[in-house]
A and B are shown apart, each in its own frame.
Chain A
Amino acid sequence: MRTLVAVVVFGVLATFAGEDAFAQASANQNVTLGVNAIYRIAISGDPAPLIITDGIAGNDNLVPVTDNSTDYSITQNVGNTLKITAEIDVALASGYTLEVNLTSTKGTSLGDVDISNSMSGSAVDVVTAIARGADANKTIGYTFSATASAGEMPATTRVVTLTLTN
């Protein structure tokens, strides 16, 4: 009887010992997450036509027109000194001026900046000191002005490029 009890006890112990040993198992996996340098900028669309239709008697400067109907958004994780530059594909003739003004939360807006002659290679800064992060739906303002002495201008299209850069 004593032997039987011993055998039973051993069996029970062996059962639980075995369960502890094999009830748990693990598997490993290496997972790497990398974040690359990111420069993203997007413009909401095209502004309405800027048409000068009025002037002031006795003043060569016609009444300028503005458009604030578009906006831009940026996301960058590169640094805290990034900037946005603006350029135009074809310069405007003398006597016509196109200015752009970008509002900014993450950077410093330079206000109204003349881009009439800032073609490729001579892009001008419009926002500077942009910190890492995102700025969404910031207004793009255009002001088009002309002098009476410059004469009429037929409908003309220009492509303005905004660039987020170091």
Chain B
Amino acid sequence: MDISLFFASRPIRTMKLRKKIKRIHQPLNLRTLLVVLVTATGLISTACAQFGSDNHTVTVFVQAITTIQADVGSVNMVISGTDVVAGENVMSVINETSRLLWGTNGSGRKTTVVTNLVSSNFVMKVEALNPTQGIAAPEVVLTNTATDFLLNIGRSSGSCTIKYTGIATAEQGIGSDSHLITFTIQSQ
């Protein structure tokens, strides 16, 4: 920047000023030049900040999150003499010791239940009791085809008691079934 031109463009009327200008028109020493340059740089920066702008896009994303867990890994049920009434062929045992817990931020979700056992000796029924969210489906007989367990559980966390009912007839004799039961949250 030509400092001398900058100052020459200003009107000068007093002698005092003329003297100052005369001094200014004298060759500038290094110190003065630095002060002027720093000041000018600051002015230019301030001017630029006032008229410049920029932007960028910030993307936020919440994925569909679904979790489900049974609080007890293994449930053992036994039909013994104490569960049986003499004269009745059908014998049963009920277990309500485990709970299913879930959380999902998606809408329109349901829970299904299925067993890995293709051919069971005895009947096993399952039902959701007292769900804190959603609606319990009617009690179903477990098969290896997924069946509704809970409906309308979208966008919630909740829990319910899992009610298992094992049923055998005396005519079926003695035996056992081992089920690997899978609860799945999926779109309704």
Contacts and interface: CB of A to CB of B under 8 A. Distances in A.
A30 B184 CA distance: 15
Q: Which of B78, B84, B180, B184 is packed against the most chain A CB atoms within 10 Å?
A: B84
Secondary structure at chain A's binding surface: helix, strand, loop or mixed? strand
Given A35-B174, A132-B170, A26 B184 contact: yes
Interface residues of B, number: 62
B73 A29 contact: yes
Contacts of B174: 35-37, 77-78
Contacts of A31: 74-77, 95, 115, 124, 164, 178-179, 181
Contact of A23 (B102, B164, B172, B186): B186
A38 B78 CA distance: 11
Given A34-B176, A38-B80, A134 B181 contact: no
A35 B186 contact: no
A14 B59 CA distance: 12
Given A24-B185, A136-B88, A77 B172 contact: yes
Contacts of A137: 87
Interface of B: 59, 61, 63-70, 72-81, 84-89, 91, 93, 95, 98, 100, 102, 104, 106, 109, 115, 121-122, 124, 162, 164, 166, 168-187
